[in-house]
Structure 1
Amino acid sequence: MPSSNATSTPMKKLHLLRTHLINAVPGLARDPSRLLTFVEDGSLEFRRGPNLSHEYQFAAQLVLTDFGDDLDTVMVPLLQWLAEYQPDADPGEAVSFEAEILSNQSVDVALRVRLTERVIAKVDCDSGHIHVDHVVSRFERDACPISRWQLLLRDAEADDDYTLAAEWGETDER
């Protein structure tokens, strides 16, 4: 009988993405409940054979409600995350979005992100066990190994300096 405290959930990539955005986007860090996540248009790809390995393929819908920050404070961390966790994504189809303008200060933004997640399911016919592992590969950024980031924005209409808009990543506490 399965354990009642099992913590294994599908869509681990979506949980990782959500956590990354909450940590990277100041408005979401202050109020994580403003980021709603859904799975839509999901499918399962598998091959016939002796194992039950498969791949989830789905569109993750991320809805930012009453968002008042610059949209780049979401898009840049999102693109950075995709470069690490979904580098094979088709650049023309990986992310789409819609926005509803609520006022001059805020919008509701719906992001649609195509994700895949492999699952290795090994069948042991002798014991009657099926061992399942979700494979969430992370691809290192060889070109830029820094782990702490600051997003600096400049208003295109002004000649002002850049303004710190967001910070995220690991801190170096040596």
Structure 2
Amino acid sequence: MKKLHRLRERLVTAVPGLDRDPDRLLTFVEEGSIEFRRGRDLTHEYRFVAQLVLTDFTGDLDTVMLPLLQWLAEYQPDLDPGEALTFEAEILANRAVDLALRVPLTERVIARVDCDTGHIQAEHSLSHFPSHACMATRWQLLVRETTEQEWSVAAEWDAPHG
């Protein structure tokens, strides 16, 4: 589940205030399965729905979604656009919400069997598809409520490959 740990790290560093209280981001695995084909090696792929729950969130939803979508574009670009992300929110008092996000993820494990030595070498293949169109290493999310207002910085984070 190395990919889920990386996704969690991205959100903790990108969502304003979450780095000061990372325990507000809960992570779970739902609907996990393993795709495996019989053969000499034990290579397989984890397939699961990652659930991330951000508790007592009071910020702008874009400060969560845009870093998440940017991460998905680089680490899970093969997702069906209509099913890449689902979410629910429980509205709490004082404009806070508990936000639950669900993202289907895959993680391939190359496991080579050496019958002569009795070794199995396992390596997680965390594919990365960087965008060469945007080479910025630091991002700022600028927002405004109306076209008459000035833009203001809502969030900042390092690029997934940065």
2:82 matched to 1:122? no
Name 1:133's counterpart in structure 2: 123
2:4 matched to 1:33? no
Which residue among 131, 155, 158 is the counterpart of 2:145?
A: 155
Equivalent residues, number = 159
2:141 matched to 1:169? no
Per-residue CA deviations over 1:122-169 (Å, capped at 9, x if unaligned) read 00000011000001011111111111000111114x621111011111
TM-score (structure 2 length as normaliser): 0.95
- Please list, as runs of the form range in 1=range in 2, the aligned pairs for 1:42-53 lying within 5 A after superposition: 42-53=32-43
Structure 2 letter corresponding to 1:120: I
TM-score (structure 1 length as normaliser): 0.89
Name 1:69's counterpart in structure 2: 59
For structure 1, list consecutive stretches of 5 or more residues without a partner in the other structure.
1-10
Percent identity over the alignment is: 68
Spell out structure 1 runs of 4+ moving beyond 6 A: none
Corresponding residue SS for 1:127: coil
Per-residue CA deviations over 1:53-112 (Å, capped at 9, x if unaligned) read 000000000000000000100000000000010011111111000000002421000000
CA RMSD of superposed structures (Å): 1.1
For structure 2, list consecutive stretches of 5 or more residues without a partner in the other structure.
none
1:131 and 1:54 map into 2 onto residues whose CA distance is 13
